[in-house]
C-alpha cells in the first residue's frame, strides 16, 4: 500500500503502489476472462495513460469514459477503442469533436433519447469508422437511462439515423449499499432490465451483441450469460468506501494521499494538511469519517475543510508527532485523481516514477 512512504515528500500528494495496482488490474482481468466477460474498465477512476496501458496489456478490450474530452485525452495517448458510457448531447462544437474521434478510434457512444440518437447520427454520418451505439437503461439508480420497455423506441431512432446499434448498458448505482444483499439485488436488477431492453431491440431485428453492466461492487454477482461486458472503475485503486462495503481488503488499497501532521491540539486529536481540495468531500452514509488511515485504523477524520483534516483517536491510542507524514485512503478515489496533476509511484519507500493525470478536469 505504498507504505512506508518516502522521506521528504512535498505533501499533500497522491501516492500509488504499482504492485497492488497491478494485482488489482490482473485479478479483475482474470475474473472477467474466466467468467467469459469482455472487460472495458472505466477510466474516470484513474484518468492516467500509464494505468490505461496496464489495463489494456492485461487484457481489457478497450476503455469506458464519461466525457468526450476524456475520450480525446485517452485517444491522444494511443488508446484506440473507447466507449463514452454517457448519453452525450451534441451541440455544434461537440458534434465536430465527436466526429474527429470517430475518424480516429473505434468509438462507442451511449444514447437514451430519440433526439440524442438523431444528433449523434448526424454528427458521425460518413465517418471513417462506423460508430457503435449502446442504449442506456435505468436499472434502478434513477439517474439517466430509459425504462427497459422504451429501449426499442430509442434503438429504432438510432438505427434510422444510420448508427450501428450493438447493445445496451446500465449503471447499477444502487449496488453501493452497505451489505452484500444490496449488491446482489442490484446485480439481479441489471440482469433483468438489460435483458428486457436487449430483447426489445432484438425484436426490431437489431443484432444486439453487447450487454454491458457493472461497477466494482456488482462484479462477480451475475448469473452466467446475462451480461457479457464489465465496466468497473474503482477496482484499480480501491478506496475507503470499497473497504467499508467489503469489496476489497486493506491489502488491495493501491492509492493513498500522503499528508503532514501540521497540528497536535490535544492527545486525542491531530490535524493533517489534506482536505476537500486534495481528495474531495464525498461521504456515503455507511462510511465513518472522511478517509481511512492505515497507520491509525482506529482514528477517524471527523472534520474536513479545504486544507485541514482533523483526526480523532480513541483514548489511549498514541498519535503521530508534529511533522510526521501520514497516509490517508480517500473515501472515493475518482475525486482525488481529478484534483491532482500527477501521481507519485512508490515502491519500498522510494519514488520510482511520476505519472501525469492525463485527463484531469476533462469535463466537457
The residue (of 131 and 146) whose beta carbon lies closer to its own copies is 146
Task: Report, in Å, the least distance between residue 22 CB and its own copies.
Answer: 25
Q: How far is the CB of 15 from its own copies (least distance, A)?
A: 14
Q: Left if phi > 0, otherwise alpha if psi is -120 to 50, otherwise beta: which for 94?
A: alpha
30: phi then psi, degrees, rounded to nearest 5: -70, -40
At 235, phi and psi to the nearest 5? -55, -25
Nearer to its own copies, 32 or 215 (CB): 215
Smallest separation (angstroms) from its own copies to the CB of 110 = 10
Q: Which is nearer to its own copies, 68 or 230 (CB)?
A: 68
**Is residue 170 within 8 Å of 190, Cβ to Cβ?**
yes
CB of 205 to its own copies, least distance (A): 26
Q: Which residue, 29 or 163, is less far from its own copies as judged by CB?
A: 163
Angle between helices 18-35 and 49-57 (to 10 degrees): 40
Q: How far is the CB of 268 from its own copies (least distance, A)?
A: 12
Q: Rounded to whole angstroms, how far apart are CA atoms 128 and 105? A: 9
| Alpha carbons 276 and 308: distance in angstroms, whole number | 8
Q: Which residues of 28-47 are buried (b: 16+ CB within 10 A; e: fewer)?
A: bbebbeeeebbbbbbbbbbb
Q: What is the smallest separation between the CB atom of 18 and its own copies, expressed in angstroms?
A: 23
Helix (H, G, I), strand (E, B) or coil at 55: helix
Grid coordinates representing 186 are 442490484
Q: Exposed (0-12), middle (13-18) or buried (19+): which is 7, by Cβ within 10 Å?
A: exposed
CA 359 → CA 17, 151, 188, 291, 327, distances in Å? 20, 31, 33, 24, 24
Q: Which is nearer to its own copies, 38 or 121 (CB)?
A: 121
DSSP letter (8 states) at residue 121: H
* Nearest residue (CB) to its own copies, 38 versus 327: 327
Tell me how far, at minimum, the Cβ of 233 lies from its own copies, in Å.
10
Query: Measured from the CB atom, is 192 or 307 closer to its own copies?
Result: 307
- Distance (Å, rounded) from C-alpha 264 to C-alpha 284? 28
Q: How far is the CB of 124 from its own copies (least distance, A)?
A: 18
- Of the two residues 177 and 303, which places its CB atom closer to its own copies in the complex? 303
Residue ranges in contact with its own copies by CB under 8 A: 8, 10-13, 44, 66-67, 86-89, 91-94, 112-113, 115-116, 138, 142-146, 173, 260-265, 271, 273, 276-278, 280-282, 303, 305-308, 310, 322-323, 334-335, 338-341, 361, 363-364
* Distances in whole angstroms, Cα of residue 57 to Cα of each of 1, 39, 326, 345: 22, 12, 33, 19
- Cα distance between residue 188 and residue 91, in whole Å: 36
d(C-alpha 359, C-alpha 71), whole Å: 9
Please identify, using beta-carbon distances, which residue of 22 and 268 lies nearer to its own copies: 268
Least distance CB 202 / its own copies (angstroms)? 23
Amino acid at each position: 500500500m505504498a507504505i512506508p512512504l518516502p522521506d521528504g515528500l512535498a505533501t499533500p500528494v497522491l501516492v500509488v503502489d504499482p504492485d497492488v495496482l497491478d494485482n488489482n488490474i490482473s485479478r479483475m482481468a482474470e475474473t472477467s476472462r474466466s467468467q467469459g466477460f469482455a472487460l472495458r474498465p472505466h477510466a474516470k477512476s484513474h484518468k492516467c495513460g500509464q494505468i490505461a496501458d496496464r489495463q489494456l496489456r492485461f487484457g481489457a478490450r478497450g476503455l469506458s469514459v464519461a466525457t468526450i474530452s476524456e475520450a480525446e485525452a485517452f485517444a491522444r495517448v494511443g488508446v484506440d477503442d473507447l466507449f463514452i458510457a454517457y448519453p452525450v448531447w451534441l451541440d455544434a462544437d461537440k458534434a465536430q469533436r465527436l466526429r474527429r474521434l470517430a475518424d480516429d478510434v473505434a468509438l462507442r457512444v451511449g444514447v437514451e433519447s430519440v433526439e440524442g440518437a438523431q444528433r449523434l447520427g448526424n454528427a458521425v454520418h460518413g465517418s471513417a469508422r462506423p460508430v457503435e451505439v449502446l442504449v442506456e437503461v435505468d436499472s434502478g439508480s434513477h439517474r439517466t437511462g430509459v425504462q427497459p420497455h422504451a429501449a426499442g423506441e430509442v434503438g429504432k431512432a438510432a438505427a434510422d439515423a444510420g448508427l450501428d446499434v450493438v447493445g445496451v448498458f446500465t449503471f447499477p448505482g444502487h449496488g453501493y449499499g452497505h451489505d452484500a444483499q444490496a449488491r446482489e439485488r442490484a446485480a439481479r436488477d441489471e440482469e433483468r432490465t438489460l435483458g428486457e431492453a436487449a430483447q426489445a431491440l432484438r425484436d426490431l431485428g437489431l443484432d444486439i451483441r453487447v450487454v454491458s453492466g457493472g461497477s466494482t461492487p456488482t462484479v462477480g454477482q451475475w448469473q452466467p450469460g446475462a451480461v457479457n461486458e464489465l465496466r468497473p472503475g474503482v477496482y484499480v485503486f480501491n478506496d475507503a468506501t470499497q473497504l467499508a462495503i467489503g469489496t476489497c481488503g486493506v491489502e488491495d488499497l493501491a492509492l493513498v494521499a500522503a499528508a503532514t501532521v501540521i497540528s497536535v491540539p490535544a492527545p486525542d486529536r491531530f490535524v493533517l494538511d489534506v482536505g476537500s481540495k486534495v481528495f474531495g468531500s464525498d461521504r456515503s452514509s455507511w462510511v465513518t469519517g472522511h478517509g481511512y488511515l492505515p497507520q491509525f485504523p482506529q482514528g477517524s477524520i471527523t472534520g474536513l475543510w479545504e486544507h485541514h483534516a482533523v483526526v480523532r483517536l480513541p483514548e489511549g491510542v498514541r498519535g503521530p508527532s508534529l511533522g510526521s507524514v501520514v497516509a490517508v485512503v480517500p473515501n472515493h478515489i475518482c475525486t482525488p485523481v481529478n484534483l491532482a496533476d500527477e501521481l507519485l509511484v512508490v515502491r519500498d519507500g522510494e519514488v520510482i516514477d511520476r505519472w501525469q493525470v492525463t485527463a484531469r478536469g476533462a469535463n466537457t
